[in-house]
Amino acid sequence: MEQHFAGIYALTPRHHRSGRVVVHDYERAVEFRGGVSRGELGPGRYRLWFWGDREIVVFDARRAIVTVGNQKLLTSDGVTITLSIICEYEITDAALLMARIADAGAKLYEEVQLATRECVAQRPLDELLTARAPLSEELTQAVAQSALEYGVMVARVAIKDFVLSNRVRDLLMKEVEARHLAQAGLVGAREEIATLRALSNAARLTRQSPELLRLRELEIARAMASNSGNTLIWGVPPGTPIPVASSTNKAEAQNSDDTAREILEDE
């Protein structure tokens, strides 16, 4: 259990039995006389004589963070994961801490470790990946409730790192890829259905009103005729009346031909 000392320096007290002792504003100090606790001391300077029976124990009360790393845990669906958890805490009652716990650092470390194992064992992998915030809140409540019993206030417990094995990571990537492919196919199918529905509506309208189809043909012909170089061949439905030149036009055409012939003979 040497690992917990790296981040729980604030829970490791300084014992003074002689000399001058300075208690800063950010520290908590407990006085002992003859081995009996006399309560906490406020900030200031204190003098201890080597022949006396006084002792002052000083804690750093500033907020600190401990990291519980490389925790290999098993989820409820049998997947092994590796977690790193951080715990943010501070000492609120140094006298209670001295009276209740011999090794406060090890106690807090184990509290975080056990709470994390219990929470992870009750959840499948998918829930752990998508609900990290609720998991952190549950861990904070579980650890904070027990830490208050020995004078430590836990502000936050959160998951810092979430590591999966290579095999599990590959399986998750394949699952995500398959989900995206299925969603893309669903979107394509919806667009195709919408296109077929539009075509069906158009066919129904043309059956009910054939003039709409004729108007569409005219729009297409006009669009093609607006560009130079296009040759437009237009079919005439059977039975369509074709305009014929009148008798007056025929006579005028005959007179024009006779006049042209006389000019050629005079030459």
Q: Choose the weakest-confidence range: 97-111, 130-144, 165-179, 191-205.
A: 165-179
pLDDT reported for residue 202: 76
**Confidence bin at 3 (pLDDT 50/70/90):** very low
pTM for this structure?
A: 0.58
Shared domain check, 201 and 69: no
pLDDT reported for residue 267: 53
Shared domain check, 118 and 68: yes
pLDDT reported for residue 6: 47
Shared domain check, 122 and 104: yes
Shared domain check, 179 and 145: no
- The residue written with tokens 């055409």 in the block is 253
| Alpha carbon of residue 257 to chain centroid | 90
Tokens of 18: 């002689």
pLDDT reported for residue 250: 52
Counting the structural domains of the chain, the total is 2
The amino acid occupying position 124 is P
pLDDT reported for residue 177: 65
Confidence check: pLDDT of 5 > 50: no
Look at residues 209, 225, 241 and tell me which one is the last residue of a structural domain. Answer: 225
Dihedral pair phi/psi, residue 16, rounded to 5°: -125, 125
pLDDT reported for residue 153: 92
Q: What is the mean pLDDT of residues 44-64?
A: 88
pLDDT reported for residue 61: 87
Is residue 252 a part of any domain in this protein? no
Shared domain check, 119 and 50: yes
Shared domain check, 181 and 93: no
Confidence check: pLDDT of 1 > 50: no
Collapsed DSSP state (helix, strand, coil) of residue 67? strand
Q: What is the pLDDT of residues 107-151, one digit of tens each?
A: 899 899 999 898 888 888 888 888 888 888 899 999 998 899 888
Dihedral pair phi/psi, residue 154, rounded to 5°: -95, 120
Q: What percent of the chain has pLDDT over 90?
A: 8
Q: What is the pLDDT of residues 205-261, one digit of tens each?
A: 777 777 777 777 777 777 777 777 767 676 666 666 655 555 555 555 556 556 555
Shared domain check, 138 and 21: yes
Is residue 82 a part of any domain in this protein? yes
Confidence check: pLDDT of 265 > 70: no
The bridge status of strand 19-23 relative to strand 14-16 is unpaired
Domain region containing 85 = 2-164
The total number of residues written for the chain in this structure: 267
Q: Identify the CA nearest to 66 among candidates 157, 163, 161.
A: 157
CA 151/CA 146 separation, integer angstroms: 10
Shared domain check, 188 and 154: no
199-235 CB burial, b ≥16 within 10 A, e <16 = eeeeeeeeeeeeeeeeeeeeeeeeeeeeeeeeeeeee
Shared domain check, 123 and 41: yes
Q: How many Cβ atoms sit within 10 Å of the Cβ of residue 108?
A: 25
Mean residue pLDDT of the chain comes to 78
